[in-house]
Amino acid sequence: MDIKVVGIAAGILLGSTSAFAQSSTVTGAVGGAATGAIVGGPVGAAVGGIVGGVAGSVIDPPPQQVVTYVQQAPAPTERIVVKEKVVVGQPLPETVVVTPIPDDPKYAYAIVNDQRVIVEPSSRKVIQVIQ
């Protein structure tokens, strides 16, 4: 199979990450491999699996009830400021205290630099910045 076809297929898969945003890494990898195999045979399957896995690892947005809880949570009495920019996908510094969400322990939150953020408690990775 022509390498251009594999490249085009990989480009299409990378360009459509929003379509894969709700997929898990495994689902993304399997779907990408299947699409790649159809377009480019064994080489396409390998490339598609990698591309699909990357697209599938996009962080799923938290449920609306978690977002609402964080929006309504009282701000701490002491303002938390860090030098680093708060970025989705990056962990918060260890100096920032994260508070678990009582009804959904898969999520926690913090208020940093006057921004409310939802994080994954185990990795402290920012999932969403509430505007």
Q: Where are the domains of the chain?
A: 80-130
Amino acid at 22: Q
- Model-level pTM greater than 0.75? no
Question: Strands across the sheet with 99-100, in order?
Answer: 99-100, 108-112, 115-120, 125-130
**Band (76; pLDDT cuts 50, 70, 90):** confident
Among 3.10.450.160, 1.10.1740.10, 3.40.50.150, 3.80.30.20, what is the CATH number of 80-130? 3.10.450.160
pLDDT tens-digit series, residues 14-23: 444 434 443 3
Helix or strand or coil: residue 111?
strand
Provide mean pLDDT across the span 100-112: 94
Provide mean pLDDT across the span 42-54: 57
Amino acid at 31: G
